[in-house]
Amino acid sequence: MTKFHLSVLALCAIALATTAGAQTIQVNRDNRTIAVTATDKVTVMADTATVHIGFVAYGPDSDTAYANGSRVSNAIMNALTTAGIPRETIESESQSLAPSQNFQVDRLTPAERTQRQFMVNQSWTVRTPADNAARLLDIAVKAGANQSGQIEWSFRDEHAPESEAAAKALKSARTQAEQMATSLSTKLGALLFASNQTQAEVIRPMMRAMAAPMVAGRAEPLAINPRQIEKSATVYAVFAIE
């Protein structure tokens, strides 16, 4: 095939693609629309908390460390379930039995190093109503969960705040479209198409896991408040104009 023939075929392909695009999006006096993109947001207090709880236990050998870890593990689980925390909301996150690393024991006395040759780590996540997070954490810590504290805040119904943000954004889009229609000396018609994209952001920092073991004793629960979460939505809307 000659170079000339290839060029003609290429031009034909471009012409066909242009025609196909024109059939999809037609701009003429019979198809008058206004397209608007608008963003809005809502700020809602979280109603659900995912609490991370865990512990570390030691022993001079692997068997003793495992036995100590088993005792603490079951004590934590029994404390939570006895307090009415549903077992199905408690999910295992990680667990391990391993020799202690030098950097973990090098500042201890020789006697302490001897007792900490092996370590057991275990952690869970527990999903609970936001106003129950402090009580749940307190129960776990007092039962031996000495590596606990991180909390993730969310909603029982994630779609509710998303829908609220999208509704506000669509209302803003209509207002903008009405202003544009007025400036064009025409009247805004029906909504023909709309799509939205939502995203969430915690507007205050979450409580993070404690670096050092938590010592509970007979202390009262920590003062923990749910976080506010900001949900934003961006709406693309197409309206008819009369």
pLDDT for position 236: 93
Looking at the structure, tell me whether residues 35 and 69 fall in a common domain: no
Boundary of a domain, candidates 153, 184, 201: 153
Is 21's pLDDT higher than 50? no
Number of domains present in the structure of the chain:
2
Quick one: 53 and 124 in the same domain? yes
Q: Which of 205, 125, 160 is nearest to 47 (CA)?
A: 160
| 65 pLDDT above the threshold of 60 | yes
Domain boundary, last residue among 121, 153, 185: 153
- Asked if residue 39 and residue 54 are part of one domain, the reply reads no
Q: Is residue 2 part of a domain?
A: no
H-helix or E-strand spanning residue 48 = strand 48-59
Burial class (CB in 10 A: 0-12, 13-18, 19+), 50: middle
Asked if residue 9 belongs to a domain, the reply is: no
Domain that holds residue 242: 27-47+155-214+222-242
Its pTM surpasses 0.85: no
Residues 146 and 209 grouped into a single domain: no
Range name among 25-29, 43-47, 51-55, 118-122 with the lowest pLDDT average: 25-29
- According to DSSP, the β-strands at 228-241 and 118-129 are unpaired
